[in-house]
A and B are shown apart, each in its own frame.
Chain A
Amino acid sequence: MTISDDVHVPGAVASRRSLITLRDVAVHYPVKEGVLQRVTSHVKAVDGVSLTIPRGSTVGLVGESGCGKTTLGKVIAGLESPTSGDLWFDLDPSDAEDVDRLRGRDPKSMSGEDREAWQRLQGQHRLGSMSREFQRRYRRNCQVVFQDAFSSLNPRQLVRDIVGRPLRVYNEASGENLNQQVLELLERVGLGPQHLLRYPHQFSGGQRQRISIARALALNPEFIILDEPTSALDVSVQAQILNLLVSLQHEFELTYLFITHDLGVVEHMSDEIAVMYLGRLVEQGPTREVFDNPFHPYTEVLRDSNPSLTGDSVADGHRRLTGSVPNPIDPPTGCRLHPRCPVAVSTCGWRVDDVLEQLEVSSPASFEGIEAVVRSSEFSALIRLTDDDASRAMAEEVTDLRGTLGNVEIDVRREGKELRVNLPEVDDITLEVIEPGRMSACVHAQSGNWWNN
């Protein structure tokens, strides 16, 4: 398979063989507290991500710090095992269909043919259950280049040993042959024989990143995860590395997952992008289309916040996110962006905590007067105040908050010094196909009422 211009055609991507398929992948880290180190809650770093990486393409994964993009990269590299969900390697279109049809079903209830297919898929393609031989093949074929090239290279090893290590581990080469192969790799990334016997500290940042890339290429992999490979580099060096990555992709028919927070880089490098926010994908589609016409307000804000050299980018008139990123231990219900979203509406999934947070900002004095909050669910709670007057005042304040909460229907009932607050229950909003090849997790896009009108 060659990389050609048809990569940019939407729809063409879906029909090709998928190299990596993620289905509902979640990574939850336990939070331990107290003397007994009991698990009290979980940090939901990645929470239900489904993504397909087609062979020969570059998929960009963008998001702000803490959104879980690096964790997702680690899961794909096999460095972190997911709490739930599965990861499939090298599926052809019919296999991919089988996976989506059969996963989640009990093998005992499957027909004989299906069960056989399922066992074959599990044994050969699913990371975690594949046989040793396939596992080995996966490890060889999936390599990682990390952001900080200095801490990912052993300071006590020579470049020859660092780059030659994978070859040695897989018994690919030894002795003079190894030196020869390492030299070829170094020359391919723009270094020379004079660099063979040096230590990492003797190189500049760009050169170190070249060494990392040479090491990743050593076993002739099909897939490379690039985790912010250029964010520690200056622009002029970054351009050198990006050019190198593109020429290597052409030469070795590589597939890239490009993880970055820099939208300029991802716009330049990737065929498809997936935008991540707080552990979830919020939008996915061909890069050009996503940038021209984003289907999620978060993507739009990201695009407009990204400073640009051309055009009148003086920030006036662009939408901004308010507040800061919520705690991933207790992420917002519905759409995770809604408390910060500039175009939020009543169906975005407002919950009691949003009401309380707003109350704290708008009327801190009466917020202080709250004695207890008894939640019966995310959307319903009993607020106990000091006396009747306080509850009367707060009932009004809560009703007044409607405007800031996307005009959601807040049902407030006063019972003496207690207030019962009910909000409409909303299910989690997940990625849905809006147009062929384009997915979004925004209620606006899913209902066809655009926020721009």
Chain B
Amino acid sequence: MAHDALLRVEGLTVDFQTSRGLARAVDDVSFSIKRGETLALAGETGCGKSVTARSILRLVPQPPGIYSAGSIYFQGIEESEPLDVLEASEQQVRALRGDRIAMVFQDPSKALNPALTIGRQLGEVFAEHREASVFESAGLGSRSRGASRYLRHRGGLVRRTAYRFTHPSATKRLTEALDERVLQALADTGVPNPRKVMTSYPHELSGGMKQRVMIAQALACDPDLLIADEPTTALDVTIQARILDLLSELQERKGTAILYITHDLSLVRQIADRLAVMYAGRIAEIGDCRDLLSAPLHPYTQGLMNAIPRAETKRGELAAIPGTVPVLIDAPRQCHFVSRCAWAGKACTTHIPGESHPLPDRLVSCLRFESAAAVGAAPGDMPQQYASAEVTT
């Protein structure tokens, strides 16, 4: 299993320096994503799901962020050896970003540059990662530094303008080759009238359209992995449904693996093959999406599922999880869910639960699935053992 994993996150731990001490946002998180599969990473605000996603591209600013432990192995198709993103050089990570691993952010109006046209922003991706093939389709065999600077909008206005006047046909062909690719990328994501969209600025587009542009930008280089960080949270449900349709259609066509970050468990069923639930920086449960949603085992996942309002639940009797998420600054060594858990025993306040596999293809980190001997606690302190008969929902 390990050899066909596209991405392996092992024991990732991310701390943040705060004025009150170190806050552990991500604590010993491990999971893997296979080629072409969709893993949903679900959890509530502040559970560390976005930090985990950003760590994969090493986008967490340091300081205040600190990668305290763990590694993230990415195995691209071309590379023979998996690359540890956290250890790689800045150059290697830059080559990865937007090319092999792309990201779609939550708020498209913040993620797009308001001062550049859509065509220019999308063109940047190709100029950065696909320069050689743009030159090829423009019919320019050898690429000169001037042409390269022109394509990448580098080197200052004077030099670029000078190049344009001295090489009029080359610049024209380059621009055409680049536009061609941008148009194709936009048309792939179902943007109507791509030629018009290309010349517009972000503020001229609707939210759903902006998110389509973001997806076009992310998928421009056919990445192996797409990280979608709550891509539909800012959108209305009818638009959300169309964006989800688009993502699954593109995934089918291009075979991209998707890491889908969301706080909405009801959305997960539509898109994901596997589901990982996070709570307070740790993984609570990982498993096959449908199995997990029909029979959640971790007390937190169970609580989360029951808290979703539906028509069948009698009004006023939603099973809310009592209490609030604990503060993670200098948190004690214990299960973070203990204060809100109906099953909690004494051992839960002194031990961090390890990984247990109560079902094939299911990982749960809860002491209810571990034996007292393995944990090293007195049997009386353990929470009530899980009985397979009690499958909720």
Report A's interface with B, CB cutoff 8 A: 64-65, 204, 206, 234-240, 242-243, 246-247, 250, 261, 263-265, 267-269, 288, 291, 301-302, 304-310, 313-315, 318, 320-321, 323-325, 360-361, 364
**B385 in the interface, Cβ–Cβ < 8 Å?**
no
Residue of B nearest to A318 (CB): B241
B303 interface contact, C-beta 8 A: yes
B267 and A264 contacting across the interface, CB-CB below 8 Å: no
Nearest B-chain residue to A3, judged by Cβ: B315
CB–CB B238/A313 < 8 A: no
Q: A315 contacts B318, CB within 8 Å?
A: no
Q: For residue B309, which residues in chain A have a CB less than 8 angstroms away from its CB?
A: 238-239, 242, 264-265, 267-269
B residues 147-196 near A (Cβ < 8 Å) are 192-193, 195-196
- For the complex formed, measure the closest distance between the CB of A24 and the CB atoms of chain B, giving whole angstroms: 27
Contact B195 A364 (CB under 8 A): yes
Q: Name the one of B209, B248, B264, B304 contacting A307, with C-beta atoms under 8 angstroms.
A: B264
A3 CB to closest chain B CB (Å) equals: 10
- B interface, CB within 8 angstroms of A: 44-45, 192-193, 195-196, 206, 208-209, 236-242, 244-245, 248, 263-267, 269-270, 293, 303-311, 313, 315-322, 324
Q: Give CA–CA (A321, B238) in the complex, Å.
A: 7
- Using known A-B contacts A307-B264, A324-B209, A361-B192, determine if residue A239 contacts B319 with beta carbons closer than 8 Å: yes
Q: Which residues of A contact B307 (CB under 8 A)?
A: 235-236, 238-239
Chain A residues with CB under 8 A of B195 = 364
Contact B270 A313 (CB under 8 A): yes
Pick the most buried of A237, A269, A301: most chain B CB atoms within 10 A of its CB. Answer: A237
* Among candidates A235, A315, A364, residue contacting B263 with C-beta atoms closer than 8 Å: A235
A268 touches B269 (CB 8 A): no
Given contacts A64-B236, A307-B264, 13 further A-B contacts (CB under 8 A): A236-B303, A261-B237, A264-B310, A267-B311, A288-B311, A309-B266, A309-B269, A309-B293, A314-B270, A320-B245, A321-B242, A325-B206, A361-B192
Assess whether A236 is in contact with B236, with CB atoms less than 8 Å apart. Answer: no
Contacts of A315 in B (CB 8 A): 241, 244-245, 248, 270
B199 to A: closest C-beta gap in Å? 13
Bound-state CA distance A119–B50 (Å) is 61
Chain B residues with CB under 8 A of A268: 309-311, 313, 315, 318
Complex-state Cα separation, A310 to B270, whole angstroms: 10
Q: How far is the CA of A100 from the CA of B239 in the complex (A)?
A: 38
Tell me the complex Cα distance, A305–B192, Å.
21
Inter-chain contact A204/B324, CB cutoff 8 Å: yes
| Given A243-B318, A309-B269, A234 contacting B44 (CB threshold 8 A) | yes
Q: Nearest-CB distance from A160 to chain B (Å)?
A: 22
B316, A301: Cβ atoms under 8 Å?
no
Q: Which residues of B contact A288 (CB under 8 A)?
A: 311
Give every chain B residue within 8 A of A236 (Cβ-Cβ). 44, 303-304, 307, 320-321
**A–B complex contacts, Cβ < 8 Å, 17 sampled:** A65-B236, A234-B45, A235-B263, A235-B307, A236-B321, A237-B324, A239-B320, A239-B321, A240-B320, A243-B318, A250-B316, A265-B309, A304-B241, A307-B264, A307-B269, A320-B238, A320-B241
